[in-house]
Amino acid sequence: MSSDVKAAVPGTPGWAAEPAGGGFTTDAGWLDFHGAPVKPSYVPPPGAVDAHCHVFGPGAEFSYAPERKYTPCDAGKAKLRALRDYLGFSRNVVVQATCHGADNRAMVDAVSSSNGLARGVATVRRSVTDAELAAMDAAGVRGVRFNFVKRLVDTTPRDELVEIATRVAKLGWHVVIYFEAAELPELYDFIASLPATVVVDHMGRPDVTKPVDNPEFALFEKLMADNPQVWSKVTCPDRLSASGPPHYDDFVPFARRLVERFPDRVLWGTDWPHPNLKTHMPDDGALVNIIPRIAPTAELQQRLLVDNPMRLYWPEECCSKD
């Protein structure tokens, strides 16, 4: 049982991040998650889902991968749940962190011990067995993540990714893809051809210092418009914004464009505990307060935070969409 089973409320002394345990050493200069997030003034609708977050270790229980590109602070499942409750959310989607490689134990533990209030997105290799996929499915995993960001992972051959996508599609899983905007022209046909629902992380990381109608973002909108199986997460202003916290004004038009144009294929999440940030650590409460600016009506907020993630991750609990 991990040491953070009874995590403190965010902002209290016991909430602070702890260094990596289990003989691991957190990277020098690592930015820990925010120690005292504000209580959001925006109240999410009942049943709201934080559809993009992670767990790190704890290292004493779940080792960090030998091939990892970074070693984080520990940030386990109990702190994730404490933050969920503090921010006014009901459920989480836990995405496998690259520091754990294809060892999904920490993520699966967070999901399987959640009383049905979390789902997972795994990282797998071609060598994964059908029995292992079935076990993850039973635990609550509903997708796999393909990462094309070279500073975070080594490249996986595309034929292997297609094989994995084909196998998990039979389970009803989707594929999450993380890439930089400059890589989209090369990846466009590959993404469009995948035999499963595709969810793109962080809007494909657009350059938000440009006008929202710039050609790079227009290509991403075209990807979504021409491929109804492609969704997007309108997430991570802290990674994309040049104008910075707490309002991230340059991020807002891009996220709002996708929410209003594709209201049934967008998701939102905190990205807690915010791996690999270099300039600042966002206040998670302030991130929640941005939601009404990117989804300006109650109907759009309901779709973004409840209806869409429920349809993708808990279809057995929600009605089919008419």
CA nearest to 276, candidates 20, 35, 72: 72
CB atoms within 10 A of CB 9: 11
CA atoms within 13 A on the CB side of 299: 4
Q: pLDDT value at position 5?
A: 52
**Where do the DSSP E strands lie in the chain?**
49-53, 91-95, 118-122, 141-147, 174-178, 198-200, 230-233, 266-267
Helices 158-169 and 130-139 meet at what angle, rounded to 10? 60
Total-model pTM: 0.94
Long-range contact set of residues 239-242: C-beta below 8 Å, sequence gap at least 24: 239/202, 239/205, 239/271, 239/277, 240/202, 240/203, 240/205, 240/206, 240/208, 241/208, 242/208, 242/209
Specify the 3-state DSSP secondary structure of 222.
helix
Distances (CA, A) of 136 to 87, 108, 133, 142, 175: 28, 7, 5, 8, 15
Residue corresponding to tokens 């469009």:
192
Q: Name, in order, each residue with C-beta under 8 angstroms of 87's C-beta and a sequence gap of 6 or more.
A: 37, 40, 44, 50, 270, 284, 285, 288
User: pLDDT at position 32, please?
Assistant: 97
The pair of three-digit structure tokens given for residue 289, joined into one six-digit string = 């307060």
pLDDT at 158: 86
pLDDT recorded at residue 148: 85
pLDDT per 10-residue tile (average), the chain, 322 residues: 62 92 96 97 98 97 95 96 97 96 97 98 95 98 88 72 94 94 93 95 97 97 98 97 96 98 98 95 98 98 98 86 46
The residue whose two tokens read 């909430």 is: 15
Question: What pLDDT was estimated at residue 3?
Answer: 40
Alpha-carbon Rg for the chain in angstroms: 18
Residue carrying the six token digits 């209580």: 39
Number of H helices, E strands in the chain: 12, 8
List 271, 283, 284, 307, catalytic entry = 271
Domains and CATH numbers, the chain: 20-314 (3.20.20.140)
Q: Kindly report whether the peptide bond that precedes residue 58 is cis, defined as omega within 30 degrees of 0.
A: yes
Distance CA 99, CA 55 (A): 10
- Model pLDDT, residue 151: 58
Catalytic residue check, 85: no
